[in-house]
Amino acid sequence: MIWIETLINGLLLGGLYALFGLGLSLIFGVMKIANIAHGEMAIGGAFLAIATANFIGLPLVLTVPIILLMAWGFGFALQMAVINRVLGSDPMPPLLMTFGLSIVVQNLLVEMFGADNRSLDIGALGTASIQIGNTSLGVFPLLMFAIALALFGALHWSLHHTRWGRNLRATSDDPEIVGMMGIDRRRVFAMVMGLSAALAALSGMMLAMRGSITPFSGGERLLIAFEVIVIGGLGSIWGSLIGGLVLGIVHVIGLRLDPASGPLYGHLLLLVILLAKPEGLAGKARSR
């Protein structure tokens, strides 16, 4: 029975991991760039929520949508004002730009909040659990998992059944051609970056509700997000979900077998996937 509970907990943790990878996967799938500041966007959103909820006293039910709107606006403005200027055939300029941004955001967080652990208080929801047979499951992890599934489903639907989704997929396939069809690819990129920043902020807030964070937590979150999208398949929305679930299960089982291992077994899984199936679990093999 202990292993059934371990497996379920791994799946629930994997839902959060998948959410971390979703925004990064979206950016890579559309713009073919890696956002090195993705982890800091997540942690920055969490710290803004902590400041709003704990210091100002705004309830979480209002704090979360406000932070999501702020994160979307930040991502949109960042893309329009900065990253669009350096986008091109060379992926190095946006890579360096987002790397510099990650350092700036991290140092700003340290300056504003210090290096202490912080968390978002969700009251009784944080300790509430339900009993299913002999297995006890936390209500909040179940809620996080349900939110992750709902967001993946909503994004998949919007990509295939809305005009915005069609424009996004067309821009991803050939950004030069869509410009000739009257679609402003730079604005599409900005919308994608805004959505990615909002998803990052949401995952960061969930992490702060689940445990504690510091201004230095962004690097670890970025690593998890990269592992998720590489394991699942670069640019694949459902691949991010699969990658997150697999990584969560491996982490939890690894800690059960070897409590001192940390994320070691997740890193080993990444190496195995890269060697055995470089395109990822949900990716398509490239023809040679």
- Amino acid found at 226: F
Q: Which domain holds residue 125?
A: 2-276
What CATH number is associated with residue 27? 1.10.3470
Place of tokens 């349900």: 146
pLDDT value at position 89? Answer: 81
User: Is 286 contained in some domain?
Assistant: no
pLDDT value at position 281? Answer: 86
Q: How far apart, in whole angstroms, are the C-alpha atoms of residue 98 and residue 43?
A: 15
User: Is 228 contained in some domain?
Assistant: yes
User: Is 25 contained in some domain?
Assistant: yes
pLDDT value at position 65? Answer: 95
Q: For the chain, what is the domain count?
A: 1
Angstrom CA distances, 165 to 77, 158, 225, 270, stand at 20, 6, 23, 30
- Amino acid found at 77: A
User: Is 272 contained in some domain?
Assistant: yes
The two structure tokens encoding residue 202 = 């949401």
pLDDT value at position 285? Answer: 55
Divide the 288 residues of the chain into consecutive groups of 10 and give the mean pLDDT of each group.
84 95 92 93 96 85 94 96 89 92 95 91 88 84 95 93 90 82 89 96 95 93 94 88 94 89 86 87 60
Residue 41's nearest CA partner among 191, 194, 173, 148 is 194
Residue 24's nearest CA partner among 272, 203, 267, 150 is 203
pLDDT value at position 1? Answer: 63
User: Is 240 contained in some domain?
Assistant: yes
pLDDT value at position 287? Answer: 42
Q: b/e per residue, 97-115, with b = 16+ CB within 10 A?
A: bbeebbeebbeebeeeeee
Helices 237-257 and 218-232, packing angle to 10 deg: 110
pTM score? 0.93
Phi-psi region of 116 (alpha: psi -120 to 50; beta: other; left: phi over 0): beta
SS3 121: coil
User: Is 283 contained in some domain?
Assistant: no
DSSP class of residue 56?
Answer: I
User: Is 24 contained in some domain?
Assistant: yes
User: Is 154 contained in some domain?
Assistant: yes
The two structure tokens encoding residue 27 = 């950016």
